[in-house]
Amino acid sequence: MALERTFAIVKPDAVKDGHVGEIITAIEQSGMAIRGLKRVQLTPAICKGFYHEHVSKGFYQELEDFMTEGPVVMMCLEGDGAILKWRDLMGATNPANAEGGTLRKRFGANIGRNATHGSDKPESAAFELSYFFNAFELG
C-alpha cells in the first residue's frame, strides 16, 4: 500500500462533547502518524470553500451552521493507505449505518452531526490539506 496523507476534522459536536482525546487515541492506535494538528473556528466563507462540492445541495446551510457553531480540531494523518484507513475508522456518513466501534457510531448523533470528517480520495486530500495547512505546519 502506498504511503498517503489525508485530512481529518474533529467536528464541533465531538469537540464540545469532549471526545478529542478519544479520537486521537483511536488514530494513534491505528498506527497512523499525526503530521499536523490545530484547533480553529471556521467561518461561513471558509466553510463554503472547503465544502465547495456541497454548496449547491439542499443540506448545505445546515452543514455550514453546524461546522461553524464551535471550534474544530483538524489534522493531517499519514500512513499506508491512510485515506481509506481513516474513512474506515470513521464509519459511514450516517452514524445509524456506521459499523459498531467506528467513531461516527460512537460519537455521531445523526447524518448532519456526525463527529468527524475525512477526505474521500487522493485529490480531495491534497486540496483539503493545502486549503488548511501551510507546508511548515506539516512536520
- Residues serving a catalytic function are 117
On whether the CB atoms of residues 34 and 77 are closer than 8 A, the answer is: yes
Residue 137 CB, nearest approach to ligand DAT (Å): 23
Which range, of 1-9, 73-81, 95-103, 107-115, touches ligand DAT by CB under 6 A?
A: 107-115
Of residues 34, 55, 84, 111, which one binds ligand DAT by CB under 6 A? Answer: 111
Looking at residue 119, its amino acid is S
115 SS3 class:
coil
Other Cβ atoms within 10 Å of 34 Cβ, number: 14
Q: Which is nearer to Mg ion, 46 or 136 (CB)?
A: 46
Residue 120 binds to ligand DAT (criterion: CB under 6 A): yes
Of residues 20, 24, 46, 63, which one binds ligand DAT by CB under 6 A? Answer: 63
d(CA 96, CA 110) in angstroms, rounded, equals: 7
* Rounded (10°) CA dihedral 52, 53, 55, 58: -170
d(CA 37, CA 122) in angstroms, rounded, equals: 19
On whether the CB atoms of residues 113 and 17 are closer than 8 A, the answer is: no
Residue 93 binds to ligand DAT (criterion: CB under 6 A): yes
Under rule CB under 6 A, how many of the chain's residues touch ligand DAT?
A: 10
Selection from ligand DAT, Mg ion, none that 111 binds (CB < 5 to 8 A by kind) is ligand DAT
Q: Which residues lie near ligand DAT (CB under 6 A)?
A: 54, 59, 62-63, 93, 111-112, 114, 117, 120
